[in-house]
Structure 1
Amino acid sequence: MLQINALVFDAYGRRFFDGASLTLAPGVKAGLVGLNGVGKSTLFKLILGHHQPGGGEILMPKGWRVASVDQEIAASPQHLIDAVLALDTRRANLLKALETADPMHQAEIHHDLYAIQADRAPSRAAEILSGLGFSNADLTRPISDFSGGWRMRAALAGALLAEPDLLLLDEPTNYLDLEGALWLEAKLKRYPNAALMISHDRDLLNEAVDAIVHVTGQKLDYYSGNYDNFEQMRAEKARLNAANRAKQEAERAHLQGFIDRFGAKASKATQAQSRMKKLAKLPPIAANIEDRVAPFLLPSPEKQLAPPVLRLEDVSIGYDDAVILRNVNIRLDPDDRIGVLGVNGAGKSTFAKLLAGALSEKHGVQWRDRRMTVAWFHQHQIEAMDPEDTPLEMMRRARPEETESKRRARLGSFGMTVEKVETKVKDLSGGERARLLLNMVAMDGPHLLILDEPTNHLDIDSRRALLDALNDYEGAVLIITHDRSLVELVADRLWLVDQGTVKTFTGSMDDYAKLVIERAKTATREDAAANAAPKQANINSKEARKAAAAARQAIAPLKKKADDLERKIETTGNQIKLLDHKLADPDLYTKDKTKAVSLGKDKAKLESDLVRLEAEWMEAAEAYENARLEAGV
């Protein structure tokens, strides 16, 4: 298990942890939550040994494998599938050792490879990559062909493939579309080992974790259950804390009143002294300090427009000679709340550019109200910010006619403190940059607000503040996001970008989630079927079925022998584990030495049997595989 005891850590002139403790049992998946900047990523660096604690200790079982996804795979000519397989270092090291091992050690290495199902690694890697949005053709493309975001996905695939004893994930859905986030959620539900994940994705924290670890007040507070349970328990804890504080304050006031009234009287001196001592011993109860975040300001348009504000008829959209979307027929009204769905690369951002006026239609008719104003927020704006710029300088350019005090007041309403308004962009957190830009693009009260992944850098409380602002905003909203709960709580209509067009999706987000999972399963089955196609294309399907059935029948005895030996190996291994458990009891050696000796002999015989069975299984498995390949099945 992961055990953190009385952790103390200082950096950058501040204290991150002061006496923080946590125990994470094997197999438990926990979400790590807290406001931006409280030290969540710092905790990961401490666990990985990149930082050294100033006090306390971080303990893990010897040999525990820990993996994180903290950087993208480096660009290289290596094929995607090979780069991901290489991230499973346990498998890679065993295969390398096998090349030079002597015959005696080869059997041991083969056993270890079998235990981790090394032969299934390529198909598992392909399945994971497919779930994260890569196509079958991508598997043999060089890593250098992919952007940084896609290389981050590949790094995530490698970590999931390796299945370390402790998996550390920092905002794993940030580089994923909604479809990838849904797949990852389902994958993490089934993850067999311990995991600690920093996430502000409420759905992920509700569906894929067993516990929540809250970083607050330089401590680590552990709550069993999902995020909704955590919020309920935290609210109840705050209520009880407030009640106890009120009760204690009343007791303090009562004791102090007695002291003030009778402290000077000789007849009451003893009682007054007793109450003074009791008052001094009352332990303080900390006041509830709410983690408050500044609200988002999304002014509504001063004057509403008549419907529709925009209409597309048989519109085609693209770049140069390439058409990305065609036959688009949609209508947008002043109060529409639209959630845009679709996989990465389907054309969602291209569609958003057209609606924002940054791209013209190639064919068809686009009609829009000439008075309509549009505010468009997208992630590239954050990436394009000048690192030497400051919020105040940005506001000066945006509002040259305003006074300096009014500019500062406006930035303050965005959540920029006095110190932050003149802080360089490079020293602001991702959440602070996102908050600043989102407030700035919307500050003129647009008729249409287009948000392309607005929550990537926002913590859960900031996402809730954005939700509140969007529900108060009275213009039209079009939102593209992998945050499923934000779509569910904001959008009243769904548009699906798929198969080269944009159409209305009539189901709910739950229906879309089921569709995505079913598509992934279908794609996996189709890939498996394609890989299992007969080698000779000139054999018709009926003859191929007959030939395959005959081949399977011919090699069935070999398969049965290998399977029987595999079951015997498993049974023998379980018997050895049972004896190990009995022999681990220290009382056995004092109460019944004869039994201890007998159990030891039984274990030695079983271990000898296991070595023999494994050798027989290797021969049987090799014979079966050779026969299967020769038969083409």
Structure 2
Amino acid sequence: MLQIQELVFDAWGRRFFDGASVSIPKDAKVGLVGRNGVGKSTLFKLILGQLTIGGGEIRLPKQARIGSVDQEHPATPVTLLDTVLEADVERARLLSDLETAPPERMGEIYDRLIEIDADRAPSRAAEILSGLGFSNADLARPMAEFSGGWRMRVALAAALFAEPDLLLLDEPTNYLDLEGALWLEARLRKYPHSAVIISHDREILNNSCDHILHLHDGKLDLYVGGYDSFETQRAEKLRLQEATRAKIEAQRAHMQAFVDRFRYKESKARQAQSRLKMIAKLPVISAVLREHTAPFLLPSPERPLAPPLLRLEGVSVGYGGPPILKNLNLRLDLDDRIGLLGVNGAGKSTFAKLVAGALEAESGEMVRSARLRAGWFHQHQIEALDPTDTPLDIIRRIMPEASEAQRRSRLAQFGLGVAKAETTVADLSGGERARLLLNLVAMEAPHLLILDEPTNHLDIDSRRALLDALNDYEGAVILITHDRSLMELVADRLWLAADGTIKPFEGDMEDYARYVVDRARAAARAPSQVAREEPPPPPRAEPPRKAKTPTGPARRRAEAAEAALARATEALAAIDQALLDPDVFAKDPAKAADLGRRREAAQARLAAAEAEWLEAAEAYEAVKEA
């Protein structure tokens, strides 16, 4: 479908692509991955012809239609449904032609309309719009009434409805809620043509993509399978690359030693020259450079508070008019990990403000621990940063008594080194700004972290670092995110915001994903009967909290022990692999002895890790059964 050959592109003082080549199969769903700033969006612009390539070529089939979502749809008086229907250019043209076509041509037009299933277009458009969060009442509203974020969804809906031969999507979930991301994941899986998706969402990359295209060092490598399969294949590829490099370098060193020794001996000169030619022919294999991702610092509270941290009984909250949320009957303890679900506008952010203390309850009883410290991260904080500030300016205000060295050290721990410490906020990437704010929010070791879409600007490795930090953190967490993987791995319980209240949700993320997709299908079957919000599945009754046995710490201990066991096993396997090389014993006895000592230590660490894992797993099972 798409062929890229020896692509070269330079811009802004750097080389983005250096002889990159790849061939993407027809109808493949490809996830484009790589570090932030490596050139993924630039590749899309090159494919679309918005930038001029410096060398090589990009080839597509003749008359292939390319679709992308570059910007929000303009605010026009055209209705939402008609705006999406116009994205099918051929259908719109045929319908227009019918109005002026001579009788002898009308039969041909009708035949083509039947062939492209034009009669079903409105219901298909309604299904897409419903899946992206629009209600039946929205279909007749003019585009001018929607905000910029919703018009971005319209642009996405139009691209999906048009079904181009090649669909290019750049971080499509960034402007979707979890419900929209779940629906999009299912939709992309069934997309009838080729699609390339830039995403840091592991679930979309695993469940919607059958290939992963990795952009690194100016090259493009295509892997079959989802993201988990890509990680396994790439790790094995890097291991083989390092093993081959070590072997070639040893061979090079051996021949060079001969040359150095006998180069000036007449009897050995010819052999030395022969070895010099052999050295010149040896391929140069780069050493494997491990990409480092700075961890997040989420210090746990030193002194746990007596339960509950928070108790709501019959609470209503709003902004002076009709309450946004009412009849809230919830309780939060120190070991709770709550995943907050619900469509945009259901009141999730209002609830976050209430819990963070930024909004007062209008009625009911809200009991809050007097010593409760809450750390609250939300996307508006990133937008509110002064673009002329630097991270150093911000940390100076937060740590007025600290020395300059201490402030810079703290920023370095955040992953913002010397160069970034004095870079203005305007010149920091979205990921760097999010990393700065996430670490600042947690600096005071809060008892509760409220995270509202913390991953929007983070790449996959940074999301994994955040996950590790959250699992080590020993306070309570309320998580609002469209990142399904993060939700599944952090949240112990799910609450659903719907129908003007928040209640516990019966089921897991798989159940919720099915509910979201079924709701969109129902809207497509009978769009005139779909209400703005359908009631969720029957919520489970709030369990008696006095009998609740906290499982969070035990679960996290078991997960950490399992990860430590995997690392210990991998370390021992690497040493055993090195010991299989007979040259180690024959040519480097000292290294062989060192490997032997390291193996004994690795074996001891493995035994200790196994014991800890067994103990932690048994403790977790016991807590779950209590």
- Taking structure 2 as the reference length, the TM-score comes to 0.82
Structure 2 partner of 1:205: 205
In 2, Cα distance between equivalents of 1:404 and 1:141: 55
In 1, Cα distance between equivalents of 2:530 and 2:370: 52
Give secondary structure in 2 for the equivalent of 1:49. Answer: coil
In 2, Cα distance between equivalents of 1:342 and 1:530: 17
* CA offset digits 1:455-479 (Å, max 9, x no partner): 1111111111111111111211110
Q: How does 1:494-505 map to 2 (within 5 A)?
A: 494-505=494-505
Structure 2 partner of 1:519: 519
On the 8 A contact 1:335/1:476 being kept in 2, the answer is yes
1:104 shift after superposition: 4.4
Structure 1 partner of 2:11: 11
The one-letter code matched in structure 2 to 1:376 is: W
1:388 shift after superposition: 2.5
Structure 2 partner of 1:602: none
Structure 2 partner of 1:41: 41
Structure 2 partner of 1:30: 30
CA change 1:57–1:105 in 2 (3 A) is: farther
Structure 1 partner of 2:258: 258
- 2:292 paired with 1:292: yes
In 2, Cα distance between equivalents of 1:168 and 1:454: 25
CA change 1:297–1:207 in 2 (3 A) is: same
In 1, Cα distance between equivalents of 2:529 and 2:468: 48
1:423 shift after superposition: 2.1
In 2, Cα distance between equivalents of 1:493 and 1:529: 32
The one-letter code matched in structure 1 to 2:447 is: H
Structure 1 partner of 2:443: 443
1:181 shift after superposition: 1.0
In 2, Cα distance between equivalents of 1:112 and 1:525: 24
The one-letter code matched in structure 1 to 2:92 is: A
* CA offset digits 1:471-502 (Å, max 9, x no partner): 11121111001111101111112112222222
Structure 2: tracts of 5 or more residues without a match: 532-626
The one-letter code matched in structure 2 to 1:119 is: D
Structure 2 partner of 1:280: 280
1:182 shift after superposition: 1.0
* CA offset digits 1:266-307 (Å, max 9, x no partner): 333322222222122211111112232221111222322222
Structure 1 partner of 2:234: 234
Structure 2 partner of 1:248: 248
On the 8 A contact 2:123/2:527 being kept in 1, the answer is no
Structure 1 partner of 2:155: 155
Give secondary structure in 2 for the equivalent of 1:520. Answer: helix
In 1, Cα distance between equivalents of 2:314 and 2:34: 47
What's the C-alpha RMSD, in Å, of the aligned pairs? Answer: 1.7
In 2, Cα distance between equivalents of 1:283 and 1:294: 33
In 2, Cα distance between equivalents of 1:425 and 1:162: 38
In 2, Cα distance between equivalents of 1:62 and 1:388: 48
Q: How does 1:210-359 map to 2 (within 5 A)?
A: 210-359=210-359
1:39 shift after superposition: 0.5
In 2, Cα distance between equivalents of 1:140 and 1:429: 38
The one-letter code matched in structure 1 to 2:6 is: A
1:107 shift after superposition: 3.7
Structure 1 partner of 2:427: 427
In 1, Cα distance between equivalents of 2:6 and 2:434: 34
In 1, Cα distance between equivalents of 2:222 and 2:483: 25
- Taking structure 1 as the reference length, the TM-score comes to 0.81
In 1, Cα distance between equivalents of 2:239 and 2:165: 37
Q: How does 1:432-581 map to 2 (within 5 A)?
A: 432-527=432-527
Give secondary structure in 1 for the equivalent of 2:462. Answer: helix
In 2, Cα distance between equivalents of 1:127 and 1:506: 26
Q: How does 1:75-224 map to 2 (within 5 A)?
A: 75-224=75-224
1:105 shift after superposition: 4.2
On the 8 A contact 1:90/1:162 being kept in 2, the answer is no
Structure 2 partner of 1:59: 59
In 2, Cα distance between equivalents of 1:115 and 1:10: 45
CA change 1:64–1:397 in 2 (3 A) is: same
Give secondary structure in 1 for the equivalent of 2:175. Answer: coil
On the 8 A contact 2:387/2:424 being kept in 1, the answer is yes
On the 8 A contact 2:136/2:528 being kept in 1, the answer is no
In 1, Cα distance between equivalents of 2:214 and 2:238: 14
Structure 1 partner of 2:415: 415
On the 8 A contact 1:168/1:195 being kept in 2, the answer is yes
1:521 shift after superposition: 2.8
CA change 1:105–1:51 in 2 (3 A) is: farther
In 2, Cα distance between equivalents of 1:99 and 1:15: 53
The one-letter code matched in structure 1 to 2:490 is: V
In 2, Cα distance between equivalents of 1:112 and 1:51: 36
On the 8 A contact 1:35/1:291 being kept in 2, the answer is no
On the 8 A contact 1:21/1:219 being kept in 2, the answer is yes
In 2, Cα distance between equivalents of 1:526 and 1:84: 18
CA change 1:428–1:93 in 2 (3 A) is: farther
On the 8 A contact 2:523/2:530 being kept in 1, the answer is no
1:90 shift after superposition: 2.8
On the 8 A contact 1:91/1:113 being kept in 2, the answer is yes
Give secondary structure in 1 for the equivalent of 2:324. Answer: strand
Q: Count how many residue pairs are aligned between Structure 1 and Structure 2.
A: 531
In 2, Cα distance between equivalents of 1:227 and 1:81: 35
On the 8 A contact 2:313/2:328 being kept in 1, the answer is yes
In 2, Cα distance between equivalents of 1:62 and 1:318: 56
On the 8 A contact 2:136/2:530 being kept in 1, the answer is no
On the 8 A contact 1:132/1:180 being kept in 2, the answer is yes
CA change 1:214–1:418 in 2 (3 A) is: same
In 2, Cα distance between equivalents of 1:85 and 1:407: 55
Structure 1: tracts of 5 or more residues without a match: 532-633
* CA offset digits 1:591-627 (Å, max 9, x no partner): xxxxxxxxxxxxxxxxxxxxxxxxxxxxxxxxxxxxx
In 2, Cα distance between equivalents of 1:333 and 1:140: 45
1:93 shift after superposition: 2.8
In 1, Cα distance between equivalents of 2:121 and 2:433: 40
In 1, Cα distance between equivalents of 2:275 and 2:414: 50
The one-letter code matched in structure 2 to 1:16 is: F
* CA offset digits 1:152-180 (Å, max 9, x no partner): 11111101110001100011111111111
Structure 2 partner of 1:364: 364
CA change 1:87–1:390 in 2 (3 A) is: farther
1:254 shift after superposition: 1.7
Structure 1 partner of 2:50: 50
In 2, Cα distance between equivalents of 1:61 and 1:393: 53
The one-letter code matched in structure 2 to 1:185 is: E
In 2, Cα distance between equivalents of 1:399 and 1:102: 78
On the 8 A contact 2:375/2:442 being kept in 1, the answer is yes
On the 8 A contact 1:452/1:481 being kept in 2, the answer is yes
On the 8 A contact 2:309/2:332 being kept in 1, the answer is yes
1:265 shift after superposition: 3.1
1:529 shift after superposition: 6.4
Structure 2 partner of 1:623: none
Give secondary structure in 2 for the equivalent of 1:319. Answer: coil
In 2, Cα distance between equivalents of 1:296 and 1:377: 14
CA change 1:27–1:388 in 2 (3 A) is: same
On the 8 A contact 1:333/1:476 being kept in 2, the answer is yes
* CA offset digits 1:342-396 (Å, max 9, x no partner): 1221111111111010111111111111111111011111122222322222222
Structure 2 partner of 1:373: 373
The 10-residue stretch of structure 1 (126-135 or 95-104) with the greater mean CA deviation from structure 2 = 95-104
CA change 1:412–1:332 in 2 (3 A) is: same
In 2, Cα distance between equivalents of 1:162 and 1:346: 30
In 2, Cα distance between equivalents of 1:34 and 1:388: 29
1:526 shift after superposition: 4.1
